[in-house]
Amino acid sequence: MAEHSTVAVLGTGIMGTAIAHNLLRTGHTVRVWNRTAAKAEPLAAEGAELAATAAEAVTGADTVITTLYDGPAALEAATAAAPGLRPGAVWLQATTVDLGSVTELAELARQAGVLFVDSPVLGTKGPAEAGQLTVLAAGPEEARAKVGSVLEAIGQRTIWVADDATTAAATRLKLVCNNWVLALTHGTAETLGLAKGLGVDPQSFFDAVAGGGIDCGYLHIKSDVILSDGYEPPSFALSTAAKDARLIVEAAEAADVRMDLTAAGAERFRRAEEQGHGDKDMAASYFASFD
């Protein structure tokens, strides 16, 4: 494939917008579609072609990237796009979905004659905008050879975990990684909530753990969000994190694994959503510490 290709991005939320921006920055021709069209319009100023329908966006595209909310949303968009898919094109499915949806999406790709790559990404708004995502990918060698320049544009590295996307190997790894991220997020939020309740200066906590094995950069990133009330715009929205927590619990239950902490974290997210914090950064789990 030529170094610069035509890429269709379906879904222009936080991740999709950043991905489209970096593809444009690196010289690719980019078409974008979003169910709420107004969210895609800012990309036109950068040179993206706005498509009225998903099928229009993918027509003639070398690569299609889906960055939507969940499995049903990805399946709906891909089904609508199917008439425009070019046989032999590569579909990078970057939405975080349930394991069953990977099977459905892969079958849709097979019927359309496109190369399907299960390819969720690790990273939030900042890394996405900087083109520093980590792409977790499972797909055939034929597809890998075609999307090198696309993957280089959106991520700092790609980890190929399997050559058969139907195994959902990349999505399974993504759920494991996200479980760790959510655990750190809740741990930070709940610890700062406890500090407030006990009248402990958060800086005393940071000083106590500084430089030791239980200190970490992510603690300080999310602490800064909480202590500065900097929840908006979100790096990763709480409502999306809540969806991912549910996916993790469901996948674990199917594998006969008990996820007590993750289930409790999902409940924290539910309470925070109920309090009106769904559109804020997922560090707003903090508010679930209080009635």
pLDDT at position 56: 98
pLDDT at position 2: 45
Indicate the pLDDT class of residue 1, thresholds 50, 70 and 90.
very low
pLDDT average, residue stretch 141-152? 95
pLDDT average, residue stretch 156-181? 98
Give the rounded percent of residues in the chain with a pLDDT score beyond 70: 99
Mean pLDDT of the chain: 97
Instruction: For 208-219, give one letter per residue: b (16+ CB within 10 A) or e.
Output: eeeeeeeeeeeb
What are 14-54's pLDDT values in tens digits?
999 999 999 999 999 999 999 999 999 999 999 999 999 99
What are the two backbone dihedrals, phi and then psi, of residue 212, each rounded to the nearest 5 degrees? -95, 180
* Amino acid in the structure at residue 184: L
Q: Which residues contact 199 (CB under 8 A, 6 or more apart)?
A: none
d(CA 168, CA 176): 12
pLDDT at position 3: 60
3-state secondary structure of 180: helix
3-state secondary structure of 202: helix
CB atoms within 10 A of CB 58: 32
d(CA 266, CA 204): 29
pTM of the complete model beyond 0.85: yes
Distances (CA, A) of 264 to 70, 186, 288: 21, 10, 11
Indicate the pLDDT class of residue 190, thresholds 50, 70 and 90.
very high
